[in-house]
Structure 1
Amino acid sequence: MHACQLDIEVWHLSDEQPSEEMKMELESLGAKPKDLSDPKLVRPITLRRNAEKQFQIKAAAILNSSFKEVLYLDSDNLPAKDPTFLFDTPEYKSTGALFWPDFWKTHGENKVFDVLGIHCEDEWEQESGQMVIDKEKSWLPLQLAWYMQKHYDVYFQFLNGDKDTFKYAWKALNKPYHMSEVFVGMAGDMLGERFCGHTMLQYFPTPGEEEDDELLFVHANLLKITDKIHFIRDDGQEHPWDLAKHSSMSHSNTWIKPEFYIGPGGRACMDFTHREGEPEAVTENFDDVVPNLQSNYFKYGGIGGETRV
């Protein structure tokens, strides 16, 4: 069994050097800042992509890490519980790669299928905010994912950032992986009369009923581009997570229809739709689902929405 204490590396680009104070704080938490531009690395990155989001660094961070087995997390991704048990699951042991689904499907006419020589299937895309990877078992597909991310000027024309470079690299090389069959949920608040999801919720199935699925990761993917003024309560505290929402029939279901919409004030939101008989969504109080996560997040310096002038 794996111990609950994991070593941590925080990978950054050369122009994102942490201050000495930040380095000391990271090291006090057992985390080491690591520069991707170090020429001694297996796969260094010396150039910044000409875009706000630097999706091309994920495979390099995994390949360059000092670990044989990696739990990769985006910087805006919070474990809702101790995730170390994932390294001992049969799904991980047999494949060496655990992935989680995204809200979308790749269109059947996307040229990525022709370029990589793989078949289009009725399946969800991959959401790469969290991955568990055994580098020894996955070394070759990791190299292909790195190659596609390195040549982002070509491959990101087909794919939305790095996301599916991992899944499709594994498929192209016919390497096994396990995609969690539990569909992604949402956390957020009400925007007028409609739910506005700004955070992805990722699960892992447990034996028994679907409602027993374990919430593992709270990935605040849209929260960071939302004006935090929407989340300030009367007492001055920021409270972005009021509700958690997930499908009532989420296992291996590919006909759920989530929807992205722009709400009042230009807010980016996700919600489930039920226009064509899709299964209803279950809505719960967020703080009941993951007690103390929200309060601890801000207590220890978490950043919610962005501050706009």
Structure 2
Amino acid sequence: MLRVHGILRKFRMRLHGYNITRSKISLIGALLIVILFFVTINSSSSASLSNETERQKDILQTLSGWLPGENGKGNTVPFANTGAATGNEFNNIISTTSDKEYWRMKDKAKLRLIKEAHKVQDPGEKLLKKRHEFYSNVFKVFDQGKPKIGELNQYLAEDRIYHARYVHGEQEKLVFSEDYLKGFLHLDDSQVAAMKEAHSHVVKNLPDSLPENLYSGDGIVYVAGGKFNWLTLLSIKSVRALGSELPIEVIIPTLDQYEADLCARVFPALNARCIYLPYVLGDGSRDSYVTKFKIDGYQYKALAVLVSSFENVFLLDSDNFPVHAPDFFFDSEPFKSSGLIVWPDFWKRATSPYFYNIAGIELSQTELSPLYDEGGGQYDDVISNGVPLDLKEIPLHRRKGSIPDPTSESGQLMISKKSHIRPLLLALYYNLYGPKYYYPLFSQGSDGQGDKETFLAATTVLQKPFYQVGQFLIAFGYFDSHNDFKGTGMGQFDPVEDYYSIVKRKQAGTTSTDRDRPFEERPRVFFVHANHPKLEPWGLKKDGLIYDENGSRLRMYGKGMKKRIGYDFEAAQWSNMKSLLCDLRIHVGLYENVDRDELCSEINAQLDYLKSTASSLE
């Protein structure tokens, strides 16, 4: 300000002798002050933008440092040199946007970013056009295969099949026989005929193979968007911390869920990239059959597998956390020989007998499929003698030709598009018409209704190989002050160790199962599916889920996690939260209206508690 007054004094001296009034001089002086103010502000803004650019560089350098391999770039990761993290388009846009607003870009700006990022991978967009044509042709088949009847919602009673948990040896108490399973959802002959006609058309017209070079390589795929952007970031951080070099693709379903900072800077720095679903699916083209479908919810998983660039896909839920690097799965059994790996869920299969009629599958009346022993962690072969089965006393899904018990848990899935493109497309068909037709057929209102049954159902219908992990999942959680168990997640096991464990037992001719072995000698826990509640720190605080009834902090996963997976999972995840949200202060839309300092205070407090109780772990 002293500098301004000095300039004004000199200005008045130069005006001496001219016929200019004091009021005019004051006006000119005021104008000068305004001009100097804006010059100062602009200089400050430029410095602020420069500081923000430096801050972003520091963030990117830190993120890249989390990657395995030389200079944080593994040799097998194709996205490391795309330039997406510091793309010119993104930098041009944020150069005129403030730090607090650039991640709230307008839709047009987002689309520019999406197109530029895609052109890095496919400069002439020849591959994109090739995929659009393939998808449109497939969706034409789906459109022609629309059931020409109303929604399947007629039940014989108000009761549904709830809490049908799979427990070996309990079949005698409540047999899920053909007659029993026909007692819920009801279809008349005309409905069965219409469904059968539509299903048959789709199966007959699905392509037998893929166009050449449509997909390539191995990789991890997430479905994100909204709050799942944060969970995906947290899971990716965990995957990279484990040393995984697999490329990652993050499917973003809608434009409002596309967060520019994450997609253009953060994810690419972790060798991951966003794929905007409508853009790669081609639903913007008026002549595409994709536009005929309303896509939402459970349809996203099958679509994510389809539109990803990978030939071999490891699909992970955003709230699922591998506890070991999964890279070796793709080159190992059972994936090499089966092309599809699924993991078990807690529930008995409740698929309606009508489905098998619709799919043209005649279930055996003399032969049984292997019996699943969830405690033993394996399927036990059953010798058939050709004698007709007592169908009233045999579970429908023990009969040869049926989808095997138990149900599948789709928090993780592995599939080869080369060997299983037809099952993948048929699973997508089931999901597109799922809410009105196929979900009621698969689950009849039982627990876990949704996309999870569609992959194995389609594979069974088309008689393609698959591997369902034998080791039964475990529940994670803690016991409250009343000694009641509070579940917070699920643990799934290593499919490779599971496979070789079963092979070894069969080769040795032993009848021993995992019931006879201590936990440490069984296949290792490989995934923590933290599905309820989600690892979202602010929500956990607001809902009081990290406090007991007395207001004291608690461990949501109890004291046994270190013994089960080899390290303190809970402390590791809260440490990751601190790194991402507090140390790097990465912009995440979920926390737009949350005070970051207050959020970080909560994260630090919970992390301190977890560290202070580390000695109590088993």
| Structures share fold, TM-score greater than 0.5 | yes
Match for residue 219 of structure 1 among 509, 520, 529: 529
Query: After TM superposition, where is structure 1 displaced by more than 4 Å over at least 4 residues in a row?
Result: 39-46, 225-228, 233-238
Match for residue 189 of structure 1 among 478, 500, 511: 478
In the other structure, the counterpart of 2:335 is 92
**Is 1:292 matched up with 2:568?**
yes
**Residue 299 (structure 1) shift:** 1.9
**Residue 13 (structure 1) shift:** 1.1
Whole-angstrom distance in 1 between the partners of 2:553 and 2:255: 33
Cα deviations by residue, 1:8-46 (Å, 9 ceiling, x for unpaired): 011121145332222222121111111111255599687
- Percent identity between the aligned chains? 27
TM-score (normalised: structure 1): 0.74
**Residue 109 (structure 1) shift:** 4.2
**Is 1:229 matched up with 2:229?**
no
Q: Is the 8 A contact 2:352 2:441 kept in 1?
A: no
Q: Is the 8 A contact 2:316 2:411 kept in 1?
A: yes
Task: Give the SS at the match of 2:440.
Answer: coil
**Is 1:36 matched up with 2:277?**
yes
Cα deviations by residue, 1:106-165 (Å, 9 ceiling, x for unpaired): 226453333323444241011111011111011000000011111122112223110110
**Is 1:149 matched up with 2:427?**
no
Q: 1:298 to 1:113 in 2, by over 3 A?
A: farther
In the other structure, the counterpart of 1:14 is 254
Cα deviations by residue, 1:254-279 (Å, 9 ceiling, x for unpaired): xxxxxxxxxxxxxxxxxxxxxxxxxx
Letter of the 1:229 partner, please give it.
G
Question: Map of 1:104-143 to 2, 5 A cutoff?
Answer: 104-107=347-350, 109-118=352-361, 119=363, 120-122=396-398, 123-143=405-425
Q: Is the 8 A contact 2:253 2:278 kept in 1?
A: yes
Segment drifting more, 76-85 vs 162-171: 76-85
Whole-angstrom distance in 1 between the partners of 2:553 and 2:357: 51
Match for residue 163 of structure 1 among 426, 448, 452: 452
**Residue 100 (structure 1) shift:** 0.4
Segment drifting more, 15-24 vs 73-82: 15-24
Task: Give the SS at the match of 1:158.
Answer: helix
Question: Map of 1:195-214 to 2, 5 A cutoff?
Answer: 195-204=485-494, 205=498, 207=501, 210=514, 211=519, 212-214=522-524
In the other structure, the counterpart of 1:27 is 268
Whole-angstrom distance in 1 between the partners of 2:555 and 2:272: 27
Whole-angstrom distance in 1 between the partners of 2:244 and 2:477: 29
**Residue 167 (structure 1) shift:** 0.5
Cα deviations by residue, 1:196-235 (Å, 9 ceiling, x for unpaired): 2221110132537733211111112222399551324799
Task: Give the SS at the match of 1:230.
Answer: coil
Segment drifting more, 23-32 vs 233-242: 233-242
Whole-angstrom distance in 2 between the partners of 1:16 and 1:128: 26
**Residue segments in structure 2 that go unaligned for 5+ positions in a row:** 1-75, 77-217, 219-242, 284-288, 364-395, 399-404, 443-448, 505-512, 581-589, 592-618
Letter of the 1:286 partner, please give it.
M
Q: Is the 8 A contact 2:255 2:276 kept in 1?
A: no
Q: Is the 8 A contact 1:9 1:32 kept in 2?
A: yes
Letter of the 2:305 partner, please give it.
I
Letter of the 1:112 partner, please give it.
F
Whole-angstrom distance in 2 between the partners of 1:193 and 1:237: 17
Q: Is the 8 A contact 1:60 1:146 kept in 2?
A: yes
In the other structure, the counterpart of 1:240 is 556
Task: Give the SS at the match of 2:563.
Answer: helix
Whole-angstrom distance in 2 between the partners of 1:156 and 1:230: 32
Letter of the 1:214 partner, please give it.
R
Q: 1:151 to 1:29 in 2, by over 3 A?
A: same
Q: Is the 8 A contact 1:37 1:44 kept in 2?
A: no
Whole-angstrom distance in 1 between the partners of 2:298 and 2:281: 22
Whole-angstrom distance in 1 between the partners of 2:256 and 2:450: 20
Q: 1:92 to 1:158 in 2, by over 3 A?
A: same
RMSD, matched Cα:
3.2
Letter of the 1:59 partner, please give it.
A
Report the number of matched residues: 260
- Would you tell me which structure has more strand in proportion to its own residues? 1
TM-score (normalised: structure 2): 0.39
Whole-angstrom distance in 2 between the partners of 1:96 and 1:139: 10
Q: Is the 8 A contact 1:44 1:60 kept in 2?
A: no
Q: Is the 8 A contact 2:295 2:432 kept in 1?
A: no
Task: Give the SS at the match of 2:358.
Answer: helix
**Residue 287 (structure 1) shift:** 2.7
Task: Give the SS at the match of 2:525.
Answer: strand
Whole-angstrom distance in 2 between the partners of 1:41 and 1:237: 49
In the other structure, the counterpart of 1:176 is 465
Segment drifting more, 70-79 vs 203-212: 203-212
Letter of the 2:344 partner, please give it.
P
- Would you tell me which structure has more helix in proportion to its own residues? 2
Whole-angstrom distance in 1 between the partners of 2:473 and 2:553: 28
Q: Is the 8 A contact 1:199 1:219 kept in 2?
A: yes
Whole-angstrom distance in 1 between the partners of 2:298 and 2:304: 11
